[in-house]
């Protein structure tokens, strides 16, 4: 993946849990203002961090099963998955700089 894409309950396991590298997942909803604010930030990170990270979004209204499974009570919720397990999570919109700072410990350095 090279840009932000959407996943659903149906392909979450294949595209996130079975991914070979870290995946940043945004749990989002169309009605969520902070989610819309975060959209351009995630698109930029998806394009800039293609070497280290895949970035996907999942709409909690379209795919509620995954949201329930991971205890998503508010949106936007960001989670990083590695090796099929959640290793990091935050709730709320943030700037690109802030998000990259927070993610730095979860991302593998580019060699």
Instruction: Please report, for the domain that includes residue 26, its CATH number.
Output: 3.40.30.10
Does residue 109 sit within a domain?
A: no
- Whether 10 is in a domain gets the answer yes
Question: Is 24 inside a domain boundary?
Answer: yes
In a domain? residue 110: no
pLDDT at res. 108? 65
Beta bridge partners of 56: 5, 25
pLDDT single digits (tens) 26-70: 999 999 999 999 999 999 999 999 888 999 999 999 999 999 999
The answer to the question of residue 37 being in a domain is: yes
State phi, psi for 103 to the nearest 5 degrees. Answer: -80, -20
Alpha carbon distance 37, 27 (integer Å): 13
Domain of residue 14, residue span? 5-103
The predicted structure's pLDDT at residue 109? 64
Band of pLDDT at residue 9, cut at 50, 70 and 90: very high
Cα separation, 9 vs 55, in Å, equals 16
- pTM comes to 0.93
- Number of structural domains found in the chain: 1
Catalytic residue ranges:
32, 35
The SS3 of residue 37 is helix
Q: Residue 1: its pLDDT value, please?
A: 45
């Amino acid at each position: 993946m090279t840009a932000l894409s959407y996943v659903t309950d149906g392909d979450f396991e294949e595209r996130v849990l079975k991914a070979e590298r870290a995946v940043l997942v945004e749990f989002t909803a169309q009605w969520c203002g902070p989610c819309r604010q975060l959209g351009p930030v995630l698109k930029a990170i998806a394009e800039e961090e293609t070497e280290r990270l895949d970035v996907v979004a999942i709409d909690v209204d379209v795919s509620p099963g995954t949201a329930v499974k991971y205890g998503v009570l508010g949106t936007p919720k960001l989670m990083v998955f590695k090796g099929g397990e959640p290793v990091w999570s935050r709730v709320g919109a943030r700037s690109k700089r802030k998000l990259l700072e927070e993610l730095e410990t979860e991302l593998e350095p580019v060699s």
